[in-house]
């Protein structure tokens, strides 16, 4: 077998393994409490369609409880109007809109149009802070419109893939992740395959307009969530399939520990009003992917092949995959599991936002947001 054929065979297996096989029950070996029936829940899910774009990555509600707001593939931030039962435009992250809207492959234009991902309101001012994969950290007022860039680099290194953020409502500090200084969002597979460790966790101080690097040398840091008391922040480290805890206060301040080791590529993290944290997962980490990540030279060889890995991965995603998410306790144990075994089209779950007895479910691959009542 030629080396090219060998690598192509490995590539096909890897890209397939990066999706979750249909009808899988997903349980961590460390988990011992499963509180809900995933099948029953997903069968009751309502699809809330989005016109002209896909990929509601993350959700946020404003200080008055309206929303949710979410960012989509054409660079818009849209707001759900419950009475009118429709999404309305709220904000954009780039002034360049030519060629951005309409039904087409937005990934080709997202570095121009923007791709808003994580977002949070600072409730004292009503400003919405946005992590855009290409535009950095931005801010827009309560009336919406064009967002303003407020941070694009730290220590002289430009953000390459700004991903998720959370806000300390007491101080206004914005904690956020830059998943890679090398690979953009539209080539995130490269970050995983190459063993890239240029990701960072950072803090933005709006009073001084300064960015501080808290952690570096991370493998695809993704979602972040502050604890309710603000003593620590959780960070999803996607490539390593784990959630880290970084202490901000108490005598442990400045120390890092593993909060939960999971069996899937973790995405966003959100606190639950019923205690604990919701963690969305892009896909299950299968044995071949584990083996590959432990041998990054193979991944780097695959990246040199004349193949569009993102396109190949997207094609496989249409035929494989079922969304999954878990709710973790304050101690990092799994207390609730969601697996889409009913075929509702959630190829992956980027986030679960629990609000007023309902769950809003996001995915970067769907033309709708999921919603169902608990």
- pLDDT by residue (tens digit) across 230-265? 999 999 999 999 999 999 999 999 999 999 999 889
Cβ neighbours of residue 220 closer than 8 Å, sequence gap 6 or more = 179, 180, 188, 191, 192, 196, 199, 237, 238, 239
pLDDT confidence of residue 26? 36
Residue 156: CATH number of its domain: 2.120.10.30
CA distance linking residue 133 with residue 177, whole number of Å = 10
- For range 117-129, the mean pLDDT: 98
CA distance 241 to 235: 11
Whole-number pLDDT of residue 9: 47
* Average pLDDT score, the chain: 85
CB 232 within 8 A of CB 247: yes
In this model, does residue 313 exceed pLDDT 70? no
In a domain, 11, yes or no: no
DSSP-based helix, strand, coil % in the chain, nearest 5: 15, 40, 45
**What is the rounded average pLDDT of the residues 34-55?**
72
Cα separation of 210 and 227, whole Å?
23
Domain with 274 in it: 30-373
- Is the residue at 168 inside a domain? yes
Average pLDDT over residues 212-226: 97
Q: Is residue 354 part of a domain?
A: yes
255 vs 30, residue with greater confidence: 255
User: Would residue 18 count as lying in a domain?
Assistant: no
Confidence of residue 302 (pLDDT cuts 50, 70, 90): low
Q: Give me the helices (H) in 74-232, please.
A: 110-113, 188-194
Interatomic CA distance for residues 254 and 240, integer angstroms: 21
**Helix pair angle (296-303, 3-17), 10° resolution:** 100
**Which residue matches tokens 């069996």?**
263
Q: How many domains does the chain have?
A: 1
Choose between 16 and 162: higher pLDDT: 162
Question: What is the model's pLDDT at position 277?
Answer: 98
What the block records as the tokens of 191 is: 């970050």
pLDDT of residue 339: 78
pLDDT at 211: 98
The yes-or-no verdict on residue 38 having pLDDT over 60 is: no
In a domain, 22, yes or no: no
- Per-residue pLDDT tens over the stretch 74-117: 999 999 999 999 999 999 999 999 999 887 889 899 999 999 99
Residue 319 included in any domain: yes
Among 272, 374, 348, 371, residue whose Cα is nearest residue 67: 371
365 part of a folded domain: yes
DSSP state of 347: S
> If pLDDT is split at 50, 70 and 90, which confidence band does 37 have?
very low
Q: What percent of the chain is predicted at pLDDT more than 90?
A: 66
Residue 197 covered by a domain: yes
Instruction: Determine the number of helices (DSSP H) and then strands (DSSP E) in the chain.
Output: 7, 26
Q: Which of 29-33, 103-107, 329-333 has the lowest mean pLDDT?
A: 29-33
Task: Report the percentage of the chain scoring pLDDT > 70.
Answer: 77
């Amino acid at each position: 077998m030629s080396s090219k054929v060998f690598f192509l065979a490995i590539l096909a297996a890897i890209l397939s393994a990066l999706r979750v096989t249909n009808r899988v029950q997903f349980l961590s070996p460390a988990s011992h409490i499963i509180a809900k029936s995933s099948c029953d829940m997903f069968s009751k899910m309502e699809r809330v369609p989005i016109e002209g774009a896909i990929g509601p990555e993350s959700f946020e509600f404003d200080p008055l409880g309206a929303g949710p707001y979410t960012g989509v593939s054409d660079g818009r931030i849209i707001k759900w109007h419950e009475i009118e039962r429709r999404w309305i435009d709220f904000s954009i992250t780039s002034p360049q809109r030519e060629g951005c809207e309409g039904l087409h492959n937005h990934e080709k234009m997202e570095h121009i149009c923007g791709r808003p991902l994580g977002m949070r309101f600072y409730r004292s001012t009503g400003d919405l802070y946005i992590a855009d994969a290409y535009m950095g950290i931005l801010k827009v007022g309560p009336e919406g419109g064009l967002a303003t860039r407020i941070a694009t680099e730290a220590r002289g290194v430009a953000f390459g893939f700004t991903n998720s953020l959370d806000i300390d409502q007491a101080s206004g500090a914005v904690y956020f992740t830059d998943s890679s200084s090398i690979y953009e969002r539209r080539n995130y597979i490269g970050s995983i395959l190459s063993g890239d460790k240029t990701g960072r966790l950072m803090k933005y101080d709006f009073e001084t307009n300064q960015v501080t690097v808290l952690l570096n040398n991370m493998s695809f840091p993704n979602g972040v969530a502050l604890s309710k008391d603000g003593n620590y922040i959780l960070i999803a480290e996607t490539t390593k399939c784990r959630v880290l805890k970084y202490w901000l206060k108490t005598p442990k301040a400045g120390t890092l520990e593993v909060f939960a080791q999971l069996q899937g590529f973790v995405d966003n993290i959100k606190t639950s009003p019923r205690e604990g944290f919701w963690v969305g997962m892009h896909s299950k980490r299968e044995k071949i992917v584990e083996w590959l990540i432990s041998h990054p030279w193979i991944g780097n060889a695959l990246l040199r092949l004349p193949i569009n890995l993102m396109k190949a991965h997207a094609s496989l995603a249409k035929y494989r995959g079922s969304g999954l998410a878990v709710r973790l306790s304050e101690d990092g144990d799994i207390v609730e599991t969601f697996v889409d075994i009913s075929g509702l089209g959630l190829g992956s779950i980027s986030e679960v936002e629990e609000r007023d007895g309902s769950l809003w479910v996001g995915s970067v691959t769907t033309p709708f947001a999921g919603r169902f009542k608990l």
